[in-house]
Amino acid sequence: MEKLLLVGFVVAGIILGTQANEYLDFNVTEIDRIEELEFGFSKYSSNLNPLMVGLTLIRGADSGAVCLDGTLPGYHLHRGHGSGANSWLIQLEGGGWCNNIRTCVYRKTTRRGSSNYMEKQLQFTGILSDKAQENPDFFNWNRVKLRYCDGASFSGDGQNQAAQLQFRGERIWRAAIDDLKANGMRYANQALLSGCSAGGLAAILRCDEFRNLFPGSTKVKCLSDAGLFLDTADVSGGRTIRNLYNGVVELQSVKNNLPRICTNHLDPTSCFFPQNLISQMKTPLFIVNAAYDTWQIQSSIAPTSADPSGFWHDCRLNHGKCTPAQLRFLQGFRDQMLRVVRGFSMSRQNGLFINSCFAHCQTERQDTWFADDSPVIRKKAVAIAVGDWYFDRAEVKLVDCPYPCDKSCHNLVFR
């Protein structure tokens, strides 16, 4: 039976995209409620006693590695043990982007732009859990969550002095890596760079660079969860997400920090889209993505700015209210996603889990990562699929049948 996860109200623009003026009126408490549902907490979770991990601030301000407001960036580290003592998992936090001065200034008043507002302790669930029954392959690794406070997927390097904004995502990345290497990561014999949403995009952008941090004898792979943002038209024929990304790339001086394998033949904004990167990467990559990604439906495909008549309003919030014509449009989006990964999936080293769910981020939430009723494709949960791929137990190329055939989904419904 299909599972529905009810979300109180939609503020996807402020959580992840911050495009529309009206979203700026939501207060931080309301944003927190939605982010908890998106990024790690759910009524389906079996984790009644989650691990809480403290925040470590990175003392790298002398290198200019600071959040949007100039405060120190940070991460949460839980040490590995036993067979995982020299294995490292780095999880890059998601949380969208800011593409103009107004939205970046707003982020300074949230944990997405200032460590002053970051939680001092964070729940480690899903791929970050320390319990073998919840995270069978990575529970005893050194597990790190790098906090996201720059608004450009750890890729900007500039500033706006008039607005007192620091765009230092690339420096945060480097300072965090240096700090973690000094704390033992340089001895890693296994490493996995992962991320969700904007962090999933960052994991793709940084993957080959991450591989080069380690000797050839170290097993290094990357995982992108809900990071396959498509360069697609919205319902009005406009290019909402391309315009958003163009603003991010230009404002935050991202160009010089994008992979050269892309920028040597495409414009910088195109190189912020994973579809122009994934087939050229040298490092093994696993992609986890919902075929009907709720963030992309709400903020890229059918945002309010592209739907002034409100025709898509109900469908945008609840797939059960989509008309046959709207479902056909969304099936077209799924088809585009499958075309994008076709060449990528032909490489034996890469992995894939594309399920036909209305969801966003499935590795950090316990219920969608590994639980009794987790989403599955061919009876394989996300955690098992990723583990089989990482440890070379099996080749994993799992693509679901089209909606509505999958009854194991934990679909998000907004109101």
d(CA 403, CA 306): 24
What does the pLDDT read at residue 263? 97
What does the pLDDT read at residue 109? 97
Residue 338: is its pLDDT beyond 50? yes
Beta bridge partners of 4: 411
**pLDDT band for position 260 (50/70/90)?**
very high
Distances (CA, A) of 86 to 8, 28, 79, 242, 340: 41, 38, 10, 40, 35
pLDDT mean over 68-84 = 98
Residues 6+ apart with CB under 8 A from 400: 291, 354, 355, 356, 357, 377, 406
Pairing of strands 351-355, 397-399: parallel
* Residues designated catalytic: 197, 293, 360
pLDDT mean over 336-343 = 98
What does the pLDDT read at residue 59? 87
What does the pLDDT read at residue 29? 32
Query: Over the stretch 206-244, which tens digit does the pLDDT of each residue have?
Result: 999 999 999 999 999 999 999 999 999 999 999 999 999
State the residue for tokens 């927190």: 32
d(CA 96, CA 90): 18
Query: Over the stretch 305-330, which tens digit does the pLDDT of each residue have?
Result: 999 999 999 999 999 999 999 999 99
Residue 361: is its pLDDT beyond 60? yes
Conformational region of residue 122, where left means phi above 0, alpha means psi within -120 to 50, and beta covers everything else = beta
Q: Are 221 and 198 a contacting pair, CB within 8 Å?
A: no
What does the pLDDT read at residue 156? 98
Least confident window among 1-5, 23-27, 141-145, 249-253: 23-27
Structure tokens at 220: 């290094």
Query: When comparing pLDDT for 255 and 46, which is higher?
Result: 255
Beta bridge partners of 219: 190
What does the pLDDT read at residue 311? 98
Q: Are 272 and 337 a contacting pair, CB within 8 Å?
A: no
- What percent of the chain has pLDDT above 70? 88
Query: Over the stretch 153-164, which tens digit does the pLDDT of each residue have?
Result: 999 999 999 999
Residues 6+ apart with CB under 8 A from 109: 28, 117
Query: Over the stretch 171-197, which tens digit does the pLDDT of each residue have?
Result: 999 999 999 999 999 999 999 999 999
pTM of the predicted model as reported, rounded to 2 decimal places = 0.92
Conformational region of residue 18, where left means phi above 0, alpha means psi within -120 to 50, and beta covers everything else = left
What does the pLDDT read at residue 3? 74
d(CA 331, CA 89): 34
Query: Over the stretch 113-130, which tens digit does the pLDDT of each residue have?
Result: 999 999 999 999 999 999
**pLDDT band for position 15 (50/70/90)?**
very low
Query: Over the stretch 267-285, which tens digit does the pLDDT of each residue have?
Result: 999 999 999 999 999 999 9
What size, in residues, is the chain? 415
The burial of 118, by beta-carbon neighbours within 10 Å (0-12 exposed, 13-18 middle, 19 or more buried), is given as buried
Q: Which residues of 164-176 are buried (b: 16+ CB within 10 A; e: fewer)?
A: ebbbbbbbbbbbb
What does the pLDDT read at residue 63? 83
**pLDDT band for position 1 (50/70/90)?**
low
Query: Over the stretch 383-397, which tens digit does the pLDDT of each residue have?
Result: 999 999 999 999 999
Q: Are 371 and 336 a contacting pair, CB within 8 Å?
A: no
What does the pLDDT read at residue 22? 26
Residue 20: is its pLDDT beyond 70? no
Cα–Cα nearest to 149, from 55, 72, 41, 243: 72
**pLDDT band for position 49 (50/70/90)?**
confident
